[in-house]
Amino acid sequence: SQQGEEDPQALSIQEGENATMNCSYKTSINNLQWYRQNSGRGLVHLILIRSNEREKHSGRLRVTLDTSKKSSSLLITASRAADTASYFCATDREYGNKLVFGAGTILRVKS
Amino acid sequence: SQTIHQWPATLVQPVGSPLSLECTVEGTSNPNLYWYRQAAGRGLQLLFYSVGIGQISSEVPQNLSASRPQDRQFILSSKKLLLSDSGFYLCAWSVRAGVSPLHFGNGTRLTVT
């Protein structure tokens, strides 16, 4: 069964706007990760946030984690057409040894 | 630097035929290895993972099997393919299971006809 569920399923924005994607999960975790997938390709790791962290930045990416609400958000600022891709959150179960992925958010950035 | 190779990129196979997909990792030792399947427009489903040679854990009972004959080689197989086996198969590796990022291959698009 899927652990993470992304919201929205699809998002269409104009270049330069910010994009926010959300992820909810059900059980305790050690960390939460975000990945990006361009059409027909493998996934690329973006950022990992540990359960004791609340916010993490990497370039134009900002990830927040609220363990009390079992949710995370990925913010992409000043989006570019090249950001068009699917974005997935993935969680490991506490003391688990594998990642479980959500269904993903399809982001389209229009130029 | 570490690299992961997965082949073939695309494959069209008739129902009932066998399958063998291969994945190899270079530049690291004793990686954790994973096979995922992605249906069209869906998330990833973990099929198998391995923490060492000869050690395979299956997540979903199905028509597929996996083997790890060498430290950095992971093979996905089937004796007789079903239509429902169609999908995008992704191999991945990590340094430490569950707490470090996964590094994915470029995937194999399998169509069973």
Q: pLDDT of B31-59, one tens digit each? A: 999 999 998 777 899 999 999 998 999 88
Q: What is the pLDDT of residue A94?
A: 54
Of A69, A27, A78, A74, nearest in space to A48 by CA: A74
Q: What is the pLDDT of residue A3?
A: 58
Q: Which residues of B touch A96 (CB under 8 A)?
A: 98
Tell me phi and psi for residue B43, to 5 degrees: -80, -175
- Cα separation of the two ends of chain A: 37
For residue range A33-54, list pLDDT tens digits in order: 999 999 989 999 999 999 999 9
What distance in Å separates the CA atoms of residue B51 and residue B97, rounded to the nearest whole number? 8
Of B6, B46, B104, the CB nearest to A98: B46
Burial-class residue A105 by CB neighbours within 10 Å (0-12, 13-18, 19+): buried
Nearest-Cα residue of chain A relative to residue B101: A45
Q: What is the pLDDT of residue B34?
A: 94
**Interchain proximity B43–A40, CB inside 8 Å:** no
Substitution target from A53, A98, A108 for chain B, most B beta carbons within 10 A:
A98
